[in-house]
Structure 1
């Protein structure tokens, strides 16, 4: 129970306004990890309204209770600040028929298996029904796995094969026509179409070319379907102890985003981050100008995301060294350096926080050089530019990142990259890949997001074992801080949430097991038995009565 630590703290910590007023709710008899470096452990928490008013021992907090105070006994359970998922995706509405030719978490089916499934689905669904599947690098690499073969399997159905990484897709002819991409389509900023030797579109497309298609399709879904998807997502998040989520809003255009968030009125805190499809900073500003920024009580729309390269899985992460399995190929930047400078200049002018997807090691020096040429370090520190993923933020780049005030938002599922893929692309897992411990040691803030399975405790396990580089693993306390206080810092909210301390929002989770002591393989089985957002119960398996048999 860490009683020695609690005893060392000894003195009850209380918000000034708490004196003379009884709390509405007290949680006692727990193992409370506050994520507050000044006082990391306690036994009990007192809440009034939407704020925490005191943390301390069970005896001290019990002494604050009044006649109307609700009391919940934790029976030794672990309490943490509500998880803040700093990088996730939501708002995708199912359309058409989706099938799986490979049910693994990172599917990489053979094209023959996909074709068999496409034929079977086409045979039993009306013409014009979308057919969708998730694929991996094997199909993206196979120049025969393109629209001509899909047309033979489903000539009257639009077919969309999307890479599980989010980078790369293959469409058949019916799909290209449905999304109004003509044979004469030109590559636009940030994305490109693959063509065969005669110049004909093969149906494969990458980066912004693909995302424009996906945004068009999802935004055309009925609002009711998108709202239902968001509500299911929020309910599932609350059951995992997630009280805040920062959504990379790539699925929905600006008007649709506002409408569905207003209708959904989600029970958890949501930051929707605009993801422009225009390919230019000026166009992005126009796209989201005048958009309502607080469409619902717990919801805000802010910041802007740009994707500067792809991933090593598709070999389009921009790398300084050529890929071992494609000699002479270094990947590519989605935007030339002058566009990256324009993106940064727009951020300086608008004061909007930037979220920059960077996976390879080549974009980071380009970015940092442009930042330093445009404004002093002190100016950039105020903006907290975020590097989403930043899989190579290491070595000589770390002191530069610290001076510029950059925040690393990492996704621990990425730490479990396929060793065979790493061997093929780089000859193994290179030093400096996927840093965590060295980033923290260098003084660069770290936040966690899922960007994959919506299980924060799976991510905690991966961050604390680090399958690719175990010497970069974090302690469990460090990992929880990255997922709470770190994520709050990444959205300028560290004075409101991320720690359990007087005056902070009463966002917290009571967990099903002790995540600080169970063996690592047990961590993904953790859930929340009680989730509070602003002092209100949003998920409850602890206090509600059991159903009668």
Structure 2
């Protein structure tokens, strides 16, 4: 039996393998405080991994380890030194893929900086890691008002100036780009009922000189002002230029960088919702390439958004749904059955892809959020084997979407394959969902995907998120996510802190006084973790093998740097992974164990 000190052995091997991970015949974790998310065995102190699966947990580990030693002859032992161990986190609804291919070297720590002092430290540290002349960027994942000049004044938030950025990163161009802004159409907070996928931005001198020195800009970029401050329009132009000029090699590098950052916070899986600006054909290419190389070590469950045929304006509904097959990565060319036809085998969307890159259904929109359009689309979908969907639903959209699903389910259809409940369909966001809405969803077998966009944008018109109401709704399958990484951060611990405290980025409690009379919406950390583990696994139809630490489940887990159940709730967001294991491999270690 080999007993490895993670600091001296595992980290060195992870580094030598270029981030590929440490392959061991078996891994045994001992002296741990394991939160299993298994109702029958909720806690344990040890765990045994064989291959990419968990072999045994708790009292069974010693016998299992002895058997593994006698049959395989190689066991890596990790002494957790009393640390908390949890299932690897799964974000149920995150725009991870779009963020993975953004411009430059991402300032990951920037999203978790809430003072200018913290931001300065993050930029200076990143500048020591990034080659001279390469871009340091924070694209989305933040609100420019979160960076407080005075930590005691929640209204003192601002971007750093050009001169400040020059001092922090003197040899690198720097770009900050807010990518989401609620837009008022009236005079009160309730009138923030529009959103634009842009916002202000900020550059340093090197970035200004780069753009103003371009002889031609296609797409067009206007003159960058001397102070580097970008208004919404100019920021959008810069963003579109970076998207058009980001090479495949740079997209692959930035995706690998996001994989590493995800591992550092214990995030091992995402339900990716595509999103505005994500081009479903070309933007999947770096992900497919990393899957081919075996380097996409965050389990990526992508959604396909029904889109119109190129060159055809205003194409919606069933016509757009029929284009799904051509947009599906790895899908073979084939004819789909149409409404009124007796379905054949058809394309099994859930079989498109592999263990780290696989389809989870259609989304973030199946159809327009009206009862009639949803009914028509769901009937179409139920005539295809195993097709699922995840429908955006906010405010007055919620009830019509529920009604449309109900009509489709209740309509007799001899062409239907299976049942709706088999598909693990969901409605997303649901900030204004009432207890009745959520109960109706539970009755239909529709899951509730709930995200935290209001953490960074508290003036957004919607209420919620209805965390407490969802957790307390009998029979409701719920999963939690950030809805980052434009409109929100990607760090799950920031969102978990929000769920527990109710406090947004500036410290205001926006969950206690619920405007819909649903009562306070805070939940416990354990309830939040359930939504970020076994709850989210349900949405990808993998609850039988992901989201909990039990024998036979995939070996995805994180050992944490602190006990998030014991710290001041306002420091939950400081939680990180000391060791992350994915598919039975050590993919990350900070060297502290």
- Which TM class, normalised by the smaller chain length? 0.5 to 0.7
2:511 maps to 469
2:248 maps to 223
TM-score, with normalisation over the residues of structure 2? 0.62
Cα RMSD after superposing both structures: 4.2
SS in 1 for 2:497: helix
Identify the match of residue 497 of structure 1 among 542, 546, 568.
Answer: 546
Shift of 1:465: 2.3
Judge conservation of contact 2:26–2:76 (CA < 8 Å) in 1. Answer: yes
Identify the match of residue 447 of structure 2 among 398, 407, 412.
Answer: 407
The separation in 1 between residues aligned to 2:262 and 2:575, in whole angstroms, is 13
Query: What are the residue-to-residue correspondences of 1:207-286 with 2, within 5 Å?
Result: 218=243, 221-250=246-275, 251-264=277-290, 265-278=295-308, 280-281=316-317, 282-286=319-323
Query: Structure 1 residues 334, 220: CA separation in 2 closer, same or farther (over 3 Å shift)?
Result: farther
The separation in 2 between residues aligned to 1:373 and 1:216, in whole angstroms, is 45
1:404-451: per-residue Cα shift (whole Å, max 9, x none)?
Answer: 111111124535752xx37xx58xx6xxx4222222221311111122
The reply on whether 1:379 has 2:428 as its aligned counterpart is no
SS in 2 for 1:515: coil
Query: Structure 1 residues 379, 479: CA separation in 2 closer, same or farther (over 3 Å shift)?
Result: same
SS in 2 for 1:403: helix
Judge conservation of contact 2:91–2:267 (CA < 8 Å) in 1. Answer: yes
Question: What stretches of structure 2 of length at least 5 have no aligned partner?
Answer: 1-23, 105-134, 149-157, 163-174, 187-191, 201-216, 221-231, 309-314, 332-351, 412-417, 503-508, 513-519
TM-score, with normalisation over the residues of structure 1? 0.67
SS in 1 for 2:281: helix
2:81 maps to 75
The separation in 1 between residues aligned to 2:480 and 2:491, in whole angstroms, is 12
The separation in 2 between residues aligned to 1:170 and 1:507, in whole angstroms, is 37
Query: Structure 1 residues 542, 228: CA separation in 2 closer, same or farther (over 3 Å shift)?
Result: same
The separation in 2 between residues aligned to 1:277 and 1:214, in whole angstroms, is 23
The separation in 1 between residues aligned to 2:580 and 2:303, in whole angstroms, is 24
Identify the match of residue 482 of structure 2 among 442, 450, 454.
Answer: 450
Select between 525-534 and 461-470 the one with higher mean Cα deviation. Answer: 461-470
Judge conservation of contact 1:438–1:472 (CA < 8 Å) in 2. Answer: yes
1:370 maps to 404
1:147 maps to none
Identify the match of residue 94 of structure 1 among 103, 116, 120.
Answer: 103
Query: Structure 1 residues 229, 41: CA separation in 2 closer, same or farther (over 3 Å shift)?
Result: same
Select between 515-524 and 34-43 the one with higher mean Cα deviation. Answer: 515-524
1:170-218: per-residue Cα shift (whole Å, max 9, x none)?
Answer: 99xxxxx9679xxxxxxxxxxxxxxxxxxxxxx99xxxxx9xx989984
Shift of 1:59: 5.5
1:512 maps to 561
2:433 maps to 393
1:530 maps to 579
Query: Structure 1 residues 219, 253: CA separation in 2 closer, same or farther (over 3 Å shift)?
Result: farther
Judge conservation of contact 1:44–1:55 (CA < 8 Å) in 2. Answer: yes
Shift of 1:379: 2.8
SS in 2 for 1:464: helix
1:153 maps to none
1:19-39: per-residue Cα shift (whole Å, max 9, x none)?
Answer: xxx971110110000001111
Judge conservation of contact 1:415–1:434 (CA < 8 Å) in 2. Answer: no
1:33 maps to 35
The separation in 2 between residues aligned to 1:35 and 1:488, in whole angstroms, is 12
Judge conservation of contact 1:52–1:505 (CA < 8 Å) in 2. Answer: yes
2:391 maps to 356
Judge conservation of contact 1:44–1:56 (CA < 8 Å) in 2. Answer: yes
Shift of 1:337: 4.5
The separation in 2 between residues aligned to 1:536 and 1:97, in whole angstroms, is 30
Judge conservation of contact 1:305–1:354 (CA < 8 Å) in 2. Answer: yes
The separation in 1 between residues aligned to 2:177 and 2:443, in whole angstroms, is 44
Higher relative CO (Cα under 8 Å, sequence separation at least 6) belongs to 2
The separation in 2 between residues aligned to 1:505 and 1:99, in whole angstroms, is 33
The separation in 2 between residues aligned to 1:138 and 1:457, in whole angstroms, is 24
1:485 maps to 534
Shift of 1:461: 1.3
The separation in 1 between residues aligned to 2:365 and 2:33, in whole angstroms, is 41
The reply on whether 1:340 has 2:374 as its aligned counterpart is yes
The reply on whether 1:300 has 2:358 as its aligned counterpart is yes
1:158 maps to none
Judge conservation of contact 2:178–2:198 (CA < 8 Å) in 1. Answer: no
Judge conservation of contact 2:392–2:427 (CA < 8 Å) in 1. Answer: yes
Judge conservation of contact 1:413–1:459 (CA < 8 Å) in 2. Answer: no
Shift of 1:249: 1.7
Judge conservation of contact 1:29–1:73 (CA < 8 Å) in 2. Answer: yes
